[in-house]
Amino acid sequence: MVKLSRIAEVLKLIEEVEEVADRLLPNEREMLAHLKAKYREPGQDDFDDAICLEVIRRNVAVRAGYNWDPERDGGRLIELLRQ
């Protein structure tokens, strides 16, 4: 059974991720395009779609904290301290 609240949540997350689309990596842009196309059709509802969009949104925030620009630093790895 399709849960309308879950679909509404995913559509809201898609809008939020679209607001930061210029800061997405190529694979994140591809996933966003896939989910946008998927949710154009009524009745779509997968549990992990909302989680995927939340992770993309979180990744953008993390990269911003490291002053990381996808255009400039596309191939650069962020070295984090390991304990």
Residue 77: inside a domain: no
Residue 82: inside a domain: no
End-to-end Cα separation, the chain, in angstroms: 45
Q: In which residue ranges of the chain is pLDDT below 50? A: 1
Which domain does 18 fall in, by range? 4-65
pLDDT at 76: 57
Residue 81: inside a domain: no
CB 14 within 8 A of CB 35: yes
Distance CA 52, CA 68 (A): 21
Domain count, the chain: 1
Residue 33: inside a domain: yes
Q: What is each CA distance from 55 to 2, 30, 52, 66, in whole angstroms?
A: 23, 14, 5, 17
pLDDT at 78: 62
Coil, helix or strand for 31?
Answer: helix
